[in-house]
Amino acid sequence: MYKKFEALCEEHNETPYKVSMATGVATSTLTMWKKGEYTPKLDKIKAIADHFGVTVDYFVSDEGRRTDE
C-alpha cells in the first residue's frame, strides 16, 4: 500500500510532510507505514485517498481504482 502512496506523492509532486499537513495524518503514521510497522486506519486512508482523488479501494485492494478511471 505504501508504494501506491509514494507513487501518488511523486505524481502530484508532494512530500509526505505536505500530505500530512493537508490531511491531518501524522507524519509519524506515514513513517511507520513506510517501515511496515503500521497500517493506517480506514479514516486516515480515506483522508489520504480523498486528498489525491482516488478511492479507498485503490489502497486496500490489489487492483484499486482511481476515481478518474
Question: What is the tens place of the pLDDT at every residue in 13-58?
Answer: 999 999 999 999 999 999 999 999 988 899 999 999 999 999 999 9
User: 45 versus 59: which is more confidently predicted?
Assistant: 45
CA dihedral 69, 49, 57, 30 (to 10 degrees): 140
Q: Is residue 68 over pLDDT 90?
A: no
Question: Domains, the chain, ranges and CATH?
Answer: 2-60 (1.10.260.40)
The answer to whether 59 and 45 are in contact (CB under 8 A) is yes
43: left (phi over 0), alpha (psi -120 to 50) or beta: alpha
Tell the residue number behind the cell numbers 480523498, with chain if given.
50
Beta bridge partners of residue 54, listed in sequence order:
66
Please report which confidence band the pLDDT of residue 69 belongs to, taking 50, 70 and 90 as the band edges.
very low
